[in-house]
Amino acid sequence: MTSTESPIGGEHFDVVIAGGGPVGLTLAAELRLQGVAALVLERGRRGEGEPRTLVLHSRTLETLDRRGLLAEFTRAQESLPGLADFRRQLDDRAARGHFAGLYLLGRHSAEPAEQPHGLALPHQVLKNLLARRAEDLGAVVRYDQEVTGLAQDADGVTVHVRTVDGDTTVRADFLVGCDGGRSVVRKDAGIGFPGTDPSLVSRMGRGRVEVHGGGELPAAWQRTDGGWFMRMPDGRIAVTEWEPPKDLESPETVDELARGIERVTGQRVTLSDVDFVTRFTDSARQADRYRVDRVLLAGDAAHIHFPAGGQGVNLGLQDAFNLGWKLAAVCRGQAPEELLDTYHAERHPVAAEVLENTRAQVALMRPGPQVDALRALFTRLMAMDEVNKHLSDVIYGTGIRYPAGPDGHPLTGTFARDLPVTTADGTTRLAELLRPGRPLLLGLEGPDADGALKAAAGWTDRVEIVLAAAQAPSAAALLVRPDGYLAWASDGPVAEDALRAALTAWCGPERVAAD
């Protein structure tokens, strides 16, 4: 895909994405799947990535399956022998995940998630997979190019870019800031970022550890009077302390990490062959708006929080899947710009709940006898199926339900679970029918389904319409959004006006047949 010439000079793209991390690359791929010209501008170099392992949770894996990517991501994990222990830990339902360091999630007896296990990948491996996906679909990804500012007008956005060859500009119909917690896009668009200041500091690094005096460090997580010590399966070591330093801007040092380990564990250590050190806090903030006219935010640019439960990357990827198809429909003239307002309406509350649960986890991780008692109580509560399922749904994103809308069907707004379906072309799965990334109207054979297909005749240019038989169908007809959530459902005779209203709201106005 190549750019076009802007009427005011320079390159022009439908969408420019600031930030080439997992969220920006996923968004670019979703846009390209619908033929939208997308440019990703990444300030770092190709091949650079944070030295950390990311865990993709159930809802993210379900969405990857609906794009045909799950098998490739799973193979990538299996090719990394260093993550063998991590994989075994994730596959053990008794230790599948934690809430505030209580490794009890997934023990409930309710129906398991469609993808019940996590998937662990190094940050750079995940970026490589997503970059290849985006570029194979025709996205333009440029490295060593940093977005430094923007200017909106009625026709689009002028994006200011710093490159190794000097400053330049590029024009876009829309700009999406996926440029992290210190987002330039968010600041230049005048979007507020309220929240809470740090109450703790975590230091992390990876290297060889020598314990003085013959002592040993814990093998996994340990809570002490001084904080938390964490040894992760990929070799990283981290300590969390409850008094953050006044200077959080200067780079973290190996000596500070070593002294933190000593304060938390009581063991004096020497670190060598350290390939990275970093620090982070529990500062929790959220953009007060995800959209200002032609500028939108996704990922850490829209929300930051303590990384308890590994929710951050999953939250950001789900932002991209929610926004991508909507922005593509607007760019292609298939839907009005008002469709983009549903992005904030749906994703802002989800992130707010993540900030809430991570703040709660931080409170449960503090030292002291009062918190000891609270953790003991939480341990007993998490043995209850209903509590365990609720917290599992919170951490893994499987409890998300978007506003149902006027049709009132109990399935509307929920994620459409996969099911085998038989079409004229043979047996397939609902997940496979969503591979093109277009809305899917699935009629589950019978006179009621036929009515749904006839009512949708004016949307065949943008909606996949499939008549099929399903094992244990949950409804007579389903309108499934590209991100996997249900926009409309019917159990019996189709109310054609209601279906047309749903199609208009989510897929744009009906196509008028030429005379």
Residues 32-85 pLDDT 10s: 999 999 999 999 999 877 788 899 999 999 999 999 999 999 999 999 876 655
Nearest to residue 205, comparing CAs of 239, 235, 237?
A: 237
Asked whether the predicted pLDDT for residue 413 surpasses 80, the reply is: yes
Is the pLDDT reported for residue 473 higher than 80? no
Options 3.40.30.120, 3.40.640.10, 3.30.70.260, 3.40.50.800; which CATH number does 420-507 get? 3.40.30.120
Query: In this predicted structure, what is the pLDDT of residue 85?
Result: 55
- Beta-strand relationship, 291-292 and 236-241: unpaired
End-to-end CA distance of the chain: give it in Å, rounded: 35
Q: Are 317 and 60 in contact (CB under 8 A)?
A: yes
Strands (E) located in 96-200: 97-99, 102-105, 119-122, 140-142, 145-153, 156-163, 166-177, 195-196
For residue 464, CA distances in Å to 48, 423, 467 come to 39, 13, 10
| Residue ranges covered by each domain of the chain | 4-60+119-193+285-365, 201-281, 420-507
CATH number of 201-281: 3.30.70.2450
CA–CA gap between residue 287 and residue 100 (Å, rounded) = 25
pLDDT tens, 142-153?
A: 999 999 999 999
Other residues' Cβ atoms within 10 Å of the Cβ of residue 228: 21
pLDDT in tens, 474-497: 788 899 999 999 999 988 777 889
Fold agreement between 201-281 and 420-507: no
Structure-model confidence comparison of residues 374 and 234, the more confident one: 374
Does residue 429 carry a pLDDT above 80? yes
Percent with pLDDT over 70 in the chain: 93
β-pair partners for 450: none
- pTM check: above 0.85: yes
Query: What value does the mean pLDDT take over residues 429-447?
Result: 90
Contact 287, 347 (CB under 8 A): no
What is residue 327's predicted lDDT score, i.e. its pLDDT?
Answer: 98
Burial class (CB in 10 A: 0-12, 13-18, 19+), 461: exposed
User: With bands split at pLDDT 50, 70 and 90, how would you rate the model's confidence at 6?
Assistant: low
Quick one: pLDDT at residue 83?
A: 60
Please give the Cα distance from 108 to 388 (Å, whole number): 6
Q: In this structure, which CATH number among 3.40.50.410, 3.20.20.70, 3.40.50.720, 3.50.50.60 belongs to the domain 4-60+119-193+285-365?
A: 3.50.50.60
Residue 415 DSSP symbol: B
- For residue 93, name the pLDDT band (cuts at 50, 70, 90): very low
Checking 416-422 for CB contacts under 8 A at 24+ apart, the result is 416/478, 416/480, 416/484, 416/485, 416/486, 417/114, 417/474, 418/62, 418/65, 418/114, 419/470, 419/471, 419/472, 419/473, 419/474, 420/470, 420/471, 421/466, 421/468, 421/469, 421/470, 422/468, 422/469, 422/470
What pLDDT, on a 0 to 100 scale, did the predictor assign at position 86? 56
For the stretch 224-283, pLDDT in tens is: 999 999 988 778 899 999 988 788 888 999 999 999 999 999 999 999 999 899 999 999
- pLDDT band of residue 94 (cuts 50, 70, 90) is very low
- Residue 89 pLDDT exceeds 70: no
Burial call 64-77: b when 16+ CB within 10 Å, e when fewer: bbbbebbeebeebb
Examine the pLDDT at 2 and tell me if it is beyond 60: no
Residue 208's pLDDT band (cuts 50, 70, 90): very high
pLDDT of amino acid 345: 98
